[in-house]
A = this chain, B = another copy of it.
Amino acid sequence: MNIGEVSDKSGLPPKTIRYYEDIGLVKPLRGPNGYRSFRESDMHKLAFLGRSRALGFTIEDCRNLLALWDDQDRASADVRAIAREHLEQIESKIADLNSIRATLSHLVRECAGDHRPDCPILKKLGNFSK
């Protein structure tokens, strides 16, 4: 399989696939013309990477998950540890964003949003009237 076909099937842009090869996540073969030649197993890895990245795992997490995926003797606890850690980070980020959203939506509601210069948003950001 050439990179275009793999891109279509995996949903990853060719640039991203080349990048993943650069950083050692996949190791496709090469044809006599220098073209990358992807096996089924490469495809599966790339699809795995696409799904892991879509769940927000970092590249390093993906690398570890992929290694565990390849390891028939892995302990599921190792996988779960990575996922749980990630889940905690997601939850903490959601909390941060919720707090920002509360502040911001309050400010947007307060602001008249008309032609006049008086603006509670700027007041809040400047922390004194101006």
Contact = CB atoms under 8 A, between A and B. Distances in A.
Given A100-B56, A119-B80, A114 B48 contact: no
A83 B55 contact: no
B114 A77 contact: yes
Contacts of A47: 126-127
Interface stretch (A15-23, A30-38, A102-110): A102-110
B108 A74 contact: no
Q: This chain: how many copies in the complex?
A: 2
A39 interface: no
What interface size band does chain A fall in?
35 or more
Given A55-B125, A75-B116, 9 more contacts: A48-B127, A51-B125, A65-B125, A69-B125, A69-B130, A76-B115, A76-B118, A79-B119, A84-B108
12 contacts: A55-B104, A55-B125, A69-B122, A69-B130, A74-B117, A75-B115, A76-B118, A80-B111, A80-B113, A90-B101, A93-B97, A94-B94
